[in-house]
Amino acid sequence: MRVFLIAGLAALAVAACTPAEEEHGALSEGCDARGVAIWNTPADPNASIEAITTGPDCARAVATLIIRNGSGEPIYSETHIPSQVMTLAQASTPAAMQTALQEWVDPASNTTMPTSSALPEWPANADSPQNGEFPFYPAEGASRESYNQVRDANVPLFCYVQGMESLNCLALRDGALESVGLQSFPG
């Protein structure tokens, strides 16, 4: 009796985990995709940037961005909903998502601000860095002094699209990544 009870409970658990699409005969192909690029910087020539999506389909997937140092250790990760990231939002198939992820992680697309010295200047007595029609918002808790220290260090910078109208900029300093802030762009 105990064996039948355990088997019955296991069957109920499997049935409870079965997606509605399978119950109606429409199997989803999923949205498992991956993009990887080498981030060759003087500070760490073998660092890598990787993005992975997973989900029952691309409309309901999640995307994880992972940056690893040259030893393969993760030094940064962030999870996003692809429909809320401009470069991923239109990818509706695993093949399209694979292409979008590869473009998303490509450091060669980061030509606007490849190093922290390219960050906009934060003048004395200003509330934030000044960058004309493309506002730059420093990371939470950043002071003008700490921002300018990162800017003066001229360290590698990776800025990636993190929403529909902005980039998140990360500075590689002393083997760690730190968020410098968000660069907005007209949408």
Give yes or no: residues 172 and 155 share one domain: yes
Adjacency order of strands within the sheet including 47-54: 33-39, 47-54, 62-68, 74-80
- For residue 134, the model assigns a pLDDT of 85
Residue 4 falls inside a structural domain: no
Give yes or no: residues 102 and 128 share one domain: no
End-of-domain residue from the set 91, 108, 125: 108
Give yes or no: residues 126 and 94 share one domain: no
- For residue 131, the model assigns a pLDDT of 82
Q: pTM here?
A: 0.81
Cα distance between residue 56 and residue 120, in whole Å: 41
Residue 9 falls inside a structural domain: no
Residue 52 falls inside a structural domain: yes
The pLDDT of residue 138 is above 50: yes
Cα 4 to Cα 1, 9, 12, 17, 19, distances in angstroms: 5, 8, 12, 20, 25
Higher pLDDT, 93 or 14: 93
End-of-domain residue from the set 79, 108, 137: 108
The pLDDT of residue 9 is above 80: no
The burial of 148, by beta-carbon neighbours within 10 Å (0-12 exposed, 13-18 middle, 19 or more buried), is given as middle
